[in-house]
Structure 1
Amino acid sequence: MTTTTGDSRVSEAVACALCGTTTDDVPLTWVSSVERGRTVYYCDRCARDNLRSIEARLDSSWW
């Protein structure tokens, strides 16, 4: 994940909340979620393995 501070860019490693896989740039295949006020990320493998659990947390308005 890259954050911008003024004119400089700071790169931070992002880790999957389930398996701990890290990456410098979050791929489009990863899933992000805001949980208890903080953003967490799930790698593509963990997202696929836990898709039903992720969908179950969506508000009914999404359906």
Structure 2
Amino acid sequence: MTSRTNPPGDGDGDDNSAAKPPPLVCARCGTSAGAPGTAPPPTWTFSVEHGASHYVCAACSRENLRSIEGRLDSDWW
């Protein structure tokens, strides 16, 4: 019985490349947060709306601060 080895990238599904995460962009204006797979800048806002995660850039966060605060539970105040 002989064994067969396949060269990389021959369609066997194992090409040793990890799937790259999508680039992080602002949910409101589409501004990129930097290279894919990096953490968002500390000035960006994170929220979960209807079960989906959203990141918002610093400029959009500032422009919509009243709207963001209006959605907080009264326990925060």
**Alignment TM-score, normalising by the size of structure 2:** 0.64
> Which secondary structure state, in structure 1, belongs to the residue aligned with residue 29 of structure 2?
coil
**Aligned Cα root-mean-square deviation (Å):** 1.6
Structure number with greater Rg is 2
- Structure 2's unaligned 5+ residue stretches are 1-17
- The answer to whether 1:14 aligns with 2:24 is yes
Separation in 2, partners of 1:9, 1:22: 19
The number of equivalent residue pairs is: 56
More relative contact order, 1 or 2 (CA 8 Å, 6+ apart): 1
Of Structure 1 and Structure 2, the greater strand share is in: 1
What's the % identity of the aligned pairs?
50
More helix by share: 1
